[in-house]
């Protein structure tokens, strides 16, 4: 069991499924609104969630600014990426997870299973379940 700080977009169905699985695995969750965090005051903290991931992998590919071509993650350096994410937190790949002194972005099933000892049964828990639906949540 771990104490997990879980930074999500409120109302996100994918984040809800992820939270439920972590709770079922016996973890204690402190849930934070990703969109309301004072990232401008703590840009280094935001940066720390991405570790050694390539900059392009820091982004929520369902964010409106990416889908409409306004933001091209592959063309950005670290400083540009963090500045854009501070200005528009919908760009941040979610959830952001913090437990046992480690931070990660996204919910890669294999990584989360190994790190937090939670059985995900090989499910894709990072893709948006509403992506194809007309009732998409605005990412």
Catalytic: 12? yes
Q: Which is catalytic among the residues 2, 7, 9, 12?
A: 12
Query: Counting beta carbons within 10 angstroms of the beta carbon of residue 108, is it exposed (0 to 12), middle (13 to 18) or buried (19 or more)?
Result: middle
Q: Looking at residue 132, what is its pLDDT?
A: 47
Neighbours of 60 (CB within 10 A): 25
Q: Looking at residue 33, what is its pLDDT?
A: 98
pLDDT tens, position by position, 70-117: 999 999 999 999 999 999 999 999 999 999 999 999 998 888 888 887
Average pLDDT over residues 23-36: 95
| Cβ 33 vs Cβ 8: under 8 Å | yes
Q: Look at the domain 3-116 and name its fold.
A: Glutaredoxin (3.40.30)
Task: Give the mean pLDDT of the chain.
Answer: 89
């Amino acid at each position: 069991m771990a104490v997990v700080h879980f930074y999500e977009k409120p109302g996100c169905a994918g984040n809800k499924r992820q939270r439920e699985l972590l709770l079922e695995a016996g973890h204690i969750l402190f849930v934070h609104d990703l969109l309301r965090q004072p990232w401008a005051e703590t840009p280094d903290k935001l940066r720390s969630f991405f570790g050694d991931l390539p900059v392009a992998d820091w982004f929520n590919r369902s964010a409106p600014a990416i889908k409409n071509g306004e933001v091209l993650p592959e063309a950005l350096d670290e400083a540009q990426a963090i500045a854009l994410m501070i200005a528009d937190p919908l760009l941040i790949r979610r959830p952001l997870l913090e437990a046992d002194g480690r931070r990660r972005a996204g919910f890669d099933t294999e990584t989360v299973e190994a790190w937090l000892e939670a059985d995900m049964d090989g499910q894709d828990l990072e893709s948006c379940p509403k992506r194809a639906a007309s009732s998409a949540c605005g990412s």
